[in-house]
Amino acid sequence: MQVPAPFVYERATSVQDALALLAKHGPDARLVAGGHSLLPMMKLRFADPAALIDINSIDGLDQISVADGIMTIGAMVTHAQLLASDVVAQHFPMLTEAERVIADPVVRNKGTVGGSLCQADPAEDLSAALGALRASVTTIGSGGSRSIPVRELHDGPYQTVLDENEMVTEVTVPLPSGSSSSAYEKLERRVGDWAIAASGVSVSVADGVISEIGIGLAAVEAPNMVAADAEDAARGQVPSAELIERIGELAAEATDPNTDQRGPADYKRHLAGELTKRALRRALTNAGALTNEGAL
């Protein structure tokens, strides 16, 4: 049986209390939210924190709200909450679609948005989806509060740019403007598994052209988990079958996947392109910008 190394357990009652406990226990302390990523890593001895600071008793971090053109998602909102939210489905269908294929109900009931982003797993679906949506995390640390774009949160696999004494309190997502929609496409070996490859596309259309677009990629080693060149190439263009084809090619070119038990690198690169095309086509169709989807 795999068991973690001994550790001290503390339960934080407020954000300030969590920060104080992080400071008290020093660099070997870690926050624990749902525990679905951290605890397995501790059992495998890939993580060996001397102290765990449990943030589940902190009030107010598990709300989803919309105000002034921004959706705010608390760091302790669970995958299950996000999946069940009508307001999320209304504004960001990509998030609902991504949540449907993240893990299984057991993980979704406890795993949190903040934990998912801070785990910084390169195959993490929410990091790709929220990166596509140009979300930011709000953090509080010893130096005060700051906002970090999700696209800049990861500092390599399983590493974030957060300081030791800093925690994410919420995620903010700008509501899309004009005719807009989003879609998430993921291929997995079996239900509940991590992605072989996944792509999430958010698109807004104004005056007949793509006014804004975000393309997030999971499990294919794209820089910052996005296809920035593909986004630049799509902006200002009239939606068409040819454009979708080109954007898919550029998304594939943004990747540098590894060959592993989920498949060879070339296959994953091909998937990144194909899944991006499918997600873009669906997002454009749902935004009312492609009326002849069958011809594509």
Ligand X SMILES: Cc1cc2nc3c(=O)[nH]c(=O)nc-3n(C[C@H](O)[C@H](O)[C@H](O)COP(=O)(O)OP(=O)(O)OC[C@H]3O[C@@H](n4cnc5c(N)ncnc54)[C@H](O)[C@@H]3O)c2cc1C
Among 81, 85, 112, 255, binds ligand X (CB under 6 A): 112
Residue whose CB is less far from ligand X, 103 or 150: 103
167 binds ligand X (CB under 6 A): yes
Residues 189-248 that bind ligand X (CB under 6 A): 194
- In the sheet where 195-206 sits, what is the strand order? 179-188, 195-206, 209-218
Residues 16-75 that bind ligand X (CB under 6 A): 30-38, 40, 75
Tell me how long the chain is. 296
Helix axes 93-100, 265-286, angle to 10 degrees: 140
Give the CB-nearest residue to ligand X: 115
Contact 75, 171 (CB under 8 A): yes
- In the sheet where 166-174 sits, what is the strand order? 64-67, 70-74, 166-174, 136-141, 144-149
Q: Which residues fall within 8 angstroms of residue 126, CB to CB, at 6 or more apart?
A: 79, 95, 98, 102, 113, 116, 117
C-alpha span between 269 and 274 (Å, rounded) = 9
Residue whose CB is less far from ligand X, 137 or 287: 137
Smallest gap, in angstroms, from Cβ of residue 286 to ligand X? Answer: 23
Residue whose CB is less far from ligand X, 102 or 244: 102
252 binds ligand X (CB under 6 A): no
107 binds ligand X (CB under 6 A): yes
Count of residues engaged in binding ligand X, rule: CB under 6 A:
28
Among 74, 93, 115, 176, binds ligand X (CB under 6 A): 115
Contact 72, 65 (CB under 8 A): yes
Residue whose CB is less far from ligand X, 262 or 282: 262
Residue whose CB is less far from ligand X, 87 or 106: 106
Reference 195, options 113, 272, 292, 94; nearest CA is 272
Cβ neighbours, 10 Å, residue 258: 13
Residue whose CB is less far from ligand X, 38 or 227: 38
**Contacts to ligand X by CB under 6 A:** 30-38, 40, 75, 79, 102-103, 107, 111-112, 114-116, 118-119, 124-126, 167-168, 194
